[in-house]
Structure 1
Amino acid sequence: MRAVRFQEYGGPEVLKTVEADVPEPGPGQVSVDVAYAGVNFADLKARSEGYRVGGLPYVPGLEVSGRIRAVGAGVEGLAVGQEVAALTDGGGYAEVTVADAVTVFPLPAGVGLRTAATLTTVLPTAYALVHSVGRLRSGETVLVQGAAGGVGTVVGQLARAAGAGAVYGVVSSAPKAAYAKDHGYDEVFVGAFEQPVRQATGGRGVDLALDPVGGETLRASLDSLAAFGRLVSYGNASSAAPWTAGPPELYPLGRSVAGFSILSLTTTAPAELRRLAERAFEKAVDGTVSLPVTAEFALAEAAQAHRLMGARTSTGKLLLRVAD
């Protein structure tokens, strides 16, 4: 089979298309003939700095859609030929991949394979940020970093549907701001955001801030919270040193900080992940949210997809087309 892998860390050029052995599922696993693979920033961090890479060579790719090829021992409720979306522990940039059955989801009625490839990481993450972890209440205000990315696109829509009083986004360019305003955002700030947030909220700050960037951006998001505000960290795109928050930052205004990682949840609480994903997928089926595919590449063009995402000019979701 064809797969895209890297044998050293570096830029997009280290991604190479190779012939590889077809993986077989072990107990509790299924193999999937991949139709589409999602491209995520975690894939870029894996390629450039070894994020979540157990060893080299490594095939990136954390989410796919396709049809079940084979079923391992002990798997129930899944069958060969069934159309599914799946979270993987790497290996998605390939014609065949293997996933634990608990992270394999039969497609909801009316959802095709192309759309399904946009859902597996983004939609449950966005749902958790707004509801399970962020606990957004009607009338509250939200601040979202990376508002034009995959998660940001869905968060804006979910927050609006949940009755948010106002949804503010932060992006890196004017074209991204225009895109975000079409997906649930009231105002979108380009670059610096602390003063604009204070002005937009009459000096109060926001009730919920969602941050995948880390570093100084996370600190600024924390400082943008209102009394009793909540910050949810769900990534470290900046690759900054681990952050800490203690009494000086939290006590005076009763602020709180939480974290979320869907990739960690696959191993720490897979049953909770499954329940979360099922609730989240309902929002796509009922039309509450949509996630546009803004660029699609052939499997052998994975390096081009990484260059586009790495340039921070992309919006929405990027996909690799593996099979028709």
Structure 2
Amino acid sequence: MRAVRFDEYGGPEVLTAVDVDVPAPGPGQVAIDVAYAGVNFADIKARAEGYRVPALPFVPGLEVSGRIRALGTGVEGLAVGQEVAALTEGGAYAEVVVADAVTVFPLPAGLTLRTAATLPTVLPTAYALLHSVGRLQPGESVLVQGAAGGVGTVAGQLARAAGAGRVIGVVSGAAKAEYARKYGYDDVVLTDGFGSAVRELTGGRGVDLALDPVGGDALRESLGALAVFGRLVSFGNASSAPAWQVGQPELYPTALSVSGFSILTLARTAPGELRALAERAFAVPGIELPVTAEFALRDAAEAHRLIASRTSTGKLLLRVAQ
């Protein structure tokens, strides 16, 4: 079968189309004929820095849609030929991928394979950030970094659906601001000096909940934009800044809380909880994540270049088969 992998770390040019053996599912696993694979920032960090790469060579890709090809022993409730979406631990840039059955989800009626490929990572992540970890209450205000990205697009809609009083997005440019306003955001501010802008928008109060995938200085500025009893949820380190620390001096004066979330780690440590979370997330009606660019599998490097340019919005997909 065809797959795209990298044998060394580096720029998009290290991604190479190769012929590899078709993987077979082990106990509790499912093999899927891939229709579409989602492209995520985590894939870029894997290729460039070795993020969550157990060994080289490595086939990246964390989410797919497709049809079940084969079932491993002990798998129940799924069938060969069934259309599904799945979260994987890598390997999705390929014609066939293996995933743990607990992270394989039958498609709801009316959901196409193309749309389904946009959701396995971003929808459960955004839902967890707002609800399971962030504990959003009706009427509260929310600040979202990367509001025009995949998680940001979905988080804006979910916050609005949950009755948030005000939803503020942070983006890097005017074009992204225009895009984000279509997906649940009341206000969108630019990255530079966003903390002051948020304080001004909230009359000096700050926000109740901030979601941060950037880390580094952005995380510190988000922390400073919180209201009394505010909560911050960290779910990434796109800045590749050194590991952050926060303690009594920052938290005690206004009773702030800081939490963390990683859907990939949760898939390993508590897959049953992830499945329950995903089922709740998929049950929220009317959430969409537009596909803003689609590439052939062999052109995965071009998708990586587009994401790395920080000009992309919405979701990027690799078209494998239909």
Secondary structure at the aligned position of 1:156 is classed as: helix
Q: CA deviation at 1:282?
A: 1.3
Question: 1:111-157 CA distances to partner (integer Å, 9 max, x unpaired)?
Answer: 11001101100000011111111111111111100000000000001
Q: Distance in 1 between matches of 2:83 and 2:191?
A: 41
Q: Distance in 2 between matches of 1:194 and 1:76?
A: 49
Structure 2, unaligned runs of 5 or more: none
**What aligned pairs does 1:6-155 form with structure 2 within 5 A after superposition?**
6-155=6-155
Q: Distance in 1 between matches of 2:160 and 2:103?
A: 28
Match of residue 252 from structure 1? 253
* Percent identity over paired residues: 76
Secondary structure at the aligned position of 2:232 is classed as: strand
The one-letter code matched in structure 2 to 1:306 is: H
Match of residue 307 from structure 1? 305
Match of residue 216 from structure 2? 215
Secondary structure at the aligned position of 1:219 is classed as: helix
Secondary structure at the aligned position of 1:189 is classed as: strand
Identify the match of residue 318 of structure 2 among 299, 317, 320.
Answer: 320
Question: 1:193-231 CA distances to partner (integer Å, 9 max, x unpaired)?
Answer: 011111001111100000000001000000110000000
Secondary structure at the aligned position of 2:198 is classed as: helix
Q: Distance in 1 between matches of 2:225 and 2:232?
A: 9
Question: How many residue pairs end up in the alignment?
Answer: 321
Match of residue 180 from structure 1? 180
Question: 1:274-323 CA distances to partner (integer Å, 9 max, x unpaired)?
Answer: 0110111112xx21x11100000000010000000000000000000000
Q: Distance in 1 between matches of 2:191 and 2:88?
A: 34
Q: CA deviation at 1:242?
A: 0.6
TM-score, with length taken from structure 2: 0.99
Q: CA deviation at 1:190?
A: 1.2
Q: Distance in 1 between matches of 2:239 and 2:191?
A: 14
Q: CA deviation at 1:110?
A: 1.1
Q: Distance in 1 between matches of 2:139 and 2:105?
A: 33
Q: Distance in 1 between matches of 2:27 and 2:191?
A: 48
The one-letter code matched in structure 2 to 1:323 is: A
Match of residue 198 from structure 1? 199
Q: Distance in 2 between matches of 1:71 and 1:158?
A: 34
Match of residue 232 from structure 2? 231
Q: CA deviation at 1:79?
A: 1.0
Q: Distance in 2 between matches of 1:88 and 1:274?
A: 13
Question: 1:229-282 CA distances to partner (integer Å, 9 max, x unpaired)?
Answer: 000000000011111111000011000000000000101110110011011111
Match of residue 296 from structure 2? 298
Question: 1:66-110 CA distances to partner (integer Å, 9 max, x unpaired)?
Answer: 000010111111111011001111000000000011111111111
Q: Distance in 1 between matches of 2:150 and 2:266?
A: 19
Q: Distance in 1 between matches of 2:87 and 2:289?
A: 18
Match of residue 276 from structure 1? 277
Q: Distance in 1 between matches of 2:108 and 2:191?
A: 38
Q: Distance in 2 between matches of 1:148 and 1:50?
A: 26
Secondary structure at the aligned position of 1:253 is classed as: coil
The one-letter code matched in structure 2 to 1:310 is: A
Q: CA deviation at 1:64?
A: 0.3
